[in-house]
Structure 1
């Protein structure tokens, strides 16, 4: 998307067909075009119409509508970021129920192959939402974690403890697939909650260096950009 924006500066936001570097495969993505750059939308959450409580195969392939709430797909993320000569940035945007906004950006964003459970790698953090991927406290670093779903656990729970509650997997407690590491401080694929009931302890859209576990974001968006 960023290359499209550079070559054709007046390109509008929308669905585009692109070819990841080093592949012969064309994939469809939503490009969010800004004044100075273009981003691929990896995840968008803004309501409860699209369920994110899905298994491995669907998280691998992707689901939802590219122009609305969706998950791009782990395999597409891998193809996009696999060329180590290219630098990718991951940006996380979060909105609360009062209209507040926060963001986190990570340089050197990559997703490894399925044999590693699509392991997440991020580099230097910047932003005002806090570095939730590396954790609000020691021992829950999600950088380097594999992806987990309700039918495939890679979360290091044996069991995991939250308060006085023990559970066998983070997806059982948080809902939705994610790069869990003893659950961790970041989890944006849980159940979406309306503004009528934003406070709870269970599944939600969590970024614990921004808001406490009792709060779920109203809107989240994950985007990737190649320099």
Structure 2
């Protein structure tokens, strides 16, 4: 059900389960390490020229089940970047695909451990949950991460998701060879909607910056 829903939004499904992601990482010889991320708010990062996935070292000493779940969800996302060519050439569509992996993994863990969404992170763990894995499950599936999953929410057109991805990844090209924007039988894929939002912002900014005598 989740995969069908995500495909209807214009997501290319990278993996159907965690085992497939692990197999890709092993095949490519990808290492996973805890490291200083530079940006304290970053949770994980694919580093193509080093063939490794970095995990923010602030989470290194926490072995609680919710944290292990959350880190595995972050790794699932980065495995999407490491798949195929595994290069550093990302795109809006690639990040849509990989962020959807976050949401899929989070929802799978909720199904396995129903108490998981009710975990209240504190201190250094708070960004990992509140602004990370749980956030994208909420944005893609439009539900409150602290309540049972439902497709009924306050943002049925996913405008919040479109704006968030535009804010974070608006400097990227629309697509790349391994992550093409899919053609949908109806509606516009997310990546195209994000590009349209970026065009709207650019036009608005250009109008604002136009000389007064040209208006």
Q: TM-score, normalised by structure 1?
A: 0.23
Larger radius of gyration between Structure 1 and Structure 2: 2
Question: If each structure's helix is expressed as a fraction of its own residues, which one has the higher value?
Answer: 2
Question: If each structure's strand is expressed as a fraction of its own residues, which one has the higher value?
Answer: 1
